[in-house]
Amino acid sequence: MAHTSPAPLTQLSEEESLFYTTVRRFAEETIAPQVRVMDDEQKLAEGLVAQMTELGLMGIEVSEELGGAGGSFFDAVLAIEAISTVDPAVAVLVDVHNTLVINALRRWGTQAQQSHWLPKLVAGTVGAYALSEANSGSDAFALQTRAEKTAAGFRLNGRKLWISNAREAGLFIVFATLDASAGYRGITAFLVEKDATGFAVGRKEDKLGIRASSTCELILDGCEVAEENLLGEPGKGYKIAIETLNEGRIGIGAQMLGLAEGAWGHAARYANERRQFGKPIAEFQAVQFTLAEMATEIEAAKLMVYNTARLKDAGQPYVREAAMTKYFTSQVAERVASQCVEIFGGNGFVRDYPAEKYYRDAKVGKIYEGTSNMQLATIAKQVL
């Protein structure tokens, strides 16, 4: 029984397959030996961002003229998938940085903003995306963070919660309400630097899974933002948020796909190694059928992720497909990770083996960047 991947990379071109293989090898050789320590210490390994930067993973879609790899959105999705097979927590940083922050800058940033920030992001300045608040989760536009126009630019006051990459980031896209009377049409996006006056990274959440990924509170106490750091037009922050998160859902789909592939690979290896009643448990039909069902669901998830990413690159509508992708892949990841634990048996329940971490990491797929219920609401609007 083959047990390196549940399905061949039949959907990839030769160039794409080489890129995926390169990132996967990096993940297995460089990230994998550090996964347990990073999970225990709840932080990324020292120097890991620099290594990913050297590999070109911090500017996948940025043009070569600005120092990036000049790749496609599909390339970014492949990188997220490949890293997630080993550690979904590390993939969060690559995902948010590329699919949310860089893509928002590429689409809505001025030429001056792009020329200034994209080379920095490519060179290792980590980006973060600050939308959520204590009372603004699924109701994303119930923002309490306020922006006030000043002679020098803007002043921001409020708090953000659940901000991925917060501890590592040097640049934050922060959403605040500039005109509360306008409702969601008053929401505006700002580029906030980590050393901005009145800005601070607060408490880090102690999470169930993806523990090496920093998820922190942001405190904006009279935070000074220059006029030139306004992203897009005043009052158009809601549009930036919605359209960027539509793309981000595909990235989460890739993360959940990679997680499922990683869990499947460990389960298949263990099934071939673990012996009971005088033979490997992989020879028992019940185990074979479980692995076969897992592989089938993974292949379906792969096709959804790849199809949606290619639709996005082709400039075709993809909102429905992105919501379906995130909804389905998060289900697949949770089921596959759970079945992986069961194949490992008692060993799947202890931290000495990798199964339990995939299981813990999988749960967040149904929660962040739009809960499963929010995805179903989006799908229903598109199909009914």
Question: What does the H/E/C string look like for the chain?
Answer: CCCCCCCCCCCCCHHHHHHHHHHHHHHHHHHHHHHHHHHHHCCCCCCHHHHHHHCCCCCCCCCHHHCCCCCCHHHHHHHHHHHHCCCHHHHHHHHHHHHHHHHHHHHHCCHHHHHHHHHHHHCCCEEEEECCECCECCCCCCCCCEEEECCCEEEEEEEEEEEECCCCEEEEEEEEECCHHHHHHHEEEEEEECCCCCEEEEEECCCCCCCCCCEEEEEEEEEEEEHHHEECCCCCHHHHHHHHHHHHHHHHHHHHHHHHHHHHHHHHHHHHHCEECCEEHHHCHHHHHHHHHHHHHHHHHHHHHHHHHHHHHCCCCCHHHHHHHHHHHHHHHHHHHHHHHHHHHHHHHCCCCCHHHHHHHHHHHHCCCCCHHHHHHHHHHHHC
Q: Which residue has 């043009």 as its token pair?
A: 63
Annotated active-site residue 369? The verdict is yes
Name the active-site residue from 133, 217, 334, 369: 369
- In sequence order, the 6+-apart residues with CB closer than 8 A to the CB of 110 are 228
**Kindly report the CA angle at 144 between 225 and 116, in degrees rounded to 5?**
25
Q: Which residues are catalytic?
A: 369
